[in-house]
Structure 1
């Protein structure tokens, strides 16, 4: 408990107000919220480790609901369009989260050096840490499950996190020690009960790695028309295999994934850049304004113009995933 409180104090000092705070260390972020969220926030979450020191949060991937807090960490093994909200936070005890974005080359090196991770948890929901809304979280025939998981925080992870945060107060030590502290955190994830899910990302020509190729292509070309045969060729898979493994990892089809990317970018254009609805829809690949409005309303619960007007009056930190 003292370790958690000490980590919270350091996180709070480096994130004095609500928001997503970059740090002096590459790939390391601090997220703070002073009150629970209302509506679900939508974002594409990068491949990363999220470790809460105070408060709690729920994350939804499709119809699946994952809950984590100071006793459990969350890992995204790939970039996933998710929604989420903080469920426990007060001004006196704000929600505080450390996020470390993964470097695929670092993960691969650690896998090569440390040997096979522990076997993944039994097929189904990850060890009493996921409460499914309408799905168990694993596709038939997929042993590794989703591209995110929740698992128990260890004392070693807290210690590595605290040492990493202390380096923010000692810039002279960062060049020599920061990389080692980051590597240790990633190593602890790989040695966790579900570390094999992260290790799959580093294995050349694994099905997970092939789906990652498809995801990278979709992120770079989301506004273009999607042809499954071309995407499957990019991933070095058959179309049927791509559909199966893509859904197993992300809980959605490639087309649904593309739609999430399009709508989230359109929302950003509407709110942050003030684009007109028709221009925002066209910019992300919609040829039909009516189709754009329908799909936007289905995801966000309101037409684009009304939703954008409401969000412009709300602090941006409320809508970070």
Structure 2
């Protein structure tokens, strides 16, 4: 794990944004490096596996609070709002993590090809799991990180690494629940289809009828399943996407607050300012000003 930790530190230290996050050129691969405790940090996670390499982070995923320390893996099985606090980090020992987005289609395909037994019953949505970090996860993550130095190999090598990563997750003690979440006709996958539409078109109004049609549900059933899966209503989910993207535009791209508001679909800057302040605890001009220095 030490080699992976050093590789993540070198890349993240050079490329992290103001929040310590790195969106790497390798699709679905992100890193984080934080030299001091911080938070709250708000985001909307896709399904992913996060390897905690150093330090500790508290995560509230859809209302469920967990503490993850170095040597642990956090598995988020559905699209969900996350509030994170870095609780253990120092300048000489920063918090370090690497996250890899999951593909439920790969999970389902592998589940069909492996004899892992039937999926569990429909007892409810489990959004986040914890496991000990093992050599299989470290190996897969290390090879994905290595692709940063070999971009020409990405299209050939990355699919095989992702197949292996998803296989080991299915073979873990959380495999049965991941199998259930990956079922094409299951509620989680149908909601995920609507969430993908929201992610693609969050800047414009999205009637619930259109979203429920995509999920092949009635509007009332869709609202119920959406809230059960994500802990948010569809409108709340879209609003958080808009605000998170606006913050990224200000911090990473140097946009003004009014420009960021327009870019994410707000017609009213005062409304944007109010909602941004409620979510992030300060007006958007604070983050816009911070990006200027």
Shorter-chain-normalised TM-score: which range?
0.7 to 0.9
> Secondary structure of the equivalent of 2:60?
strand
Please state if 1:12 is matched with 2:13: no
Following superposition, the deviation at residue 292 of structure 1 comes to 2.1
What stretches of structure 2 of length at least 5 have no aligned partner? none
What stretches of structure 1 of length at least 5 have no aligned partner? 121-140, 314-321
The answer on whether the counterparts of 1:44 and 1:79 sit within 8 Å (CA) in structure 2 is yes
TM-score, with normalisation over the residues of structure 1? Answer: 0.75
1:302 to 266, 272, 282: 282
In 1, the alpha carbon distance for the partners of 2:90 and 2:4 equals 17
Superimposed CA distance per residue, residues 250-301 of structure 1 (whole angstroms, 9 cap, x where no aligned partner): 1111111011011112223334444444443343333333322221111111
The equivalences for 1:232-243 within 5 A come to: 232-243=212-223
Q: Flag the 1:47–1:92 CA change in 2: closer, same or farther, 3 A.
A: same
Superimposed CA distance per residue, residues 155-189 of structure 1 (whole angstroms, 9 cap, x where no aligned partner): 54345545666787899998876544433222221
Give the equivalent residue in structure 2 for 1:31. 32
2:137 to 145, 157, 167: 157
The answer on whether the counterparts of 2:22 and 2:32 sit within 8 Å (CA) in structure 1 is yes
Give the equivalent residue in structure 1 for 2:233. 253
In 1, the alpha carbon distance for the partners of 2:168 and 2:99 equals 15
The answer on whether the counterparts of 2:242 and 2:264 sit within 8 Å (CA) in structure 1 is yes
2:268 to 272, 288, 292: 288
The answer on whether the counterparts of 2:57 and 2:86 sit within 8 Å (CA) in structure 1 is yes
Following superposition, the deviation at residue 57 of structure 1 comes to 1.1
The equivalences for 1:197-208 within 5 A come to: 197-208=177-188
Superimposed CA distance per residue, residues 43-82 of structure 1 (whole angstroms, 9 cap, x where no aligned partner): 3333321111221112223543222123321123344342
The number of residues matched between the two structures is 289
The answer on whether the counterparts of 1:146 and 1:251 sit within 8 Å (CA) in structure 2 is no
The equivalences for 1:124-273 within 5 A come to: 143-161=123-141, 179-273=159-253
Q: Flag the 1:144–1:175 CA change in 2: closer, same or farther, 3 A.
A: same
TM-score, with normalisation over the residues of structure 2? Answer: 0.81
Which is bigger in relative contact order (C-alpha 8 A, separation at least 6)? Answer: 1
CA RMSD across the alignment: 3.3
Q: Flag the 1:118–1:41 CA change in 2: closer, same or farther, 3 A.
A: farther
